[in-house]
């Protein structure tokens, strides 16, 4: 059974710092991996989608990498801002119409 782990569960950093969030998965045979952001009391917002054939994706200050062989993905946030404070979740898709498998998220606080 695919398991997705996100470490740390919570992270607090000062504004302006570059940071890395980690995601690991047990089954490397994935189709894609998706990073989401969730603000308190809100739904999930898709940040980046990495297909299994890709190594990384970038959007603004965000960069996500994927290493299937080691079962790892990282989300790099450059020059963090207080508005980046949220919970970040990663999820993997195994195949076909199987549903996404989610990690429990990393709660990020960026202190001004």
Partner 1 sequence: NAGVTQTPKFQVLKTGQSMTLQCAQDMNHNSMYWYRQDPGMGLRLIYYSASEGTTDKGEVPDGYNVSRLKKQNFLLGLESAAPSQTSVYFCASSYIAGSSYNEQFFGPGTRLTVL
Give the residues lining the site for partner 1 (CB under 8 A): 31-32, 34, 36, 42-46, 49, 51, 89, 91, 93, 96-97, 99-100, 102-105
4-7 and 106-111 strand pairing: unpaired
In the numeric block, which tokens belong to residue 68?
Answer: 């299937």
Residue partners of 104: CB distance under 8 A and separation at least 6: 6, 9, 89
Buried b (16+ CB within 10 A) or exposed e, 43-56: eeeebbbbeeeeee
By beta-carbon proximity to partner 1, the closer residue of 71 and 103 is 103
Q: Name the minimum Å distance from CB 7 to partner 1.
A: 14
In this structure, are residues 35 and 15 in contact, taking their beta carbons and an 8 Å threshold? Answer: no
By beta-carbon proximity to partner 1, the closer residue of 80 and 90 is 90
C-alpha neighbours within 13 Å on the C-beta side of residue 60: 8
Q: Name the minimum Å distance from CB 92 to partner 1.
A: 11
By beta-carbon proximity to partner 1, the closer residue of 66 and 80 is 66
Q: Name the minimum Å distance from CB 105 to partner 1.
A: 7
By beta-carbon proximity to partner 1, the closer residue of 71 and 105 is 105
Q: Name the minimum Å distance from CB 60 to partner 1.
A: 16
């Amino acid at each position: 059974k695919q398991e997705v782990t996100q470490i740390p569960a919570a992270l607090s950093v000062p504004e302006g710092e570059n940071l890395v969030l980690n995601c690991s998965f047990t089954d490397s045979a994935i189709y894609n991996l998706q990073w989401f952001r969730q603000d308190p009391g809100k739904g999930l917002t898709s940040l980046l989608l990495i297909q299994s054939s890709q190594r990384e994706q970038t959007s603004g200050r965000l960069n996500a990498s994927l290493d299937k062989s080691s079962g790892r993905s990282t989300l790099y946030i450059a020059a963090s801002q207080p508005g980046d404070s949220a919970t970040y979740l990663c999820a993997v898709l195994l195949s076909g119409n199987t549903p996404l498998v989610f990690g429990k998220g990393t709660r990020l606080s960026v202190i001004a």
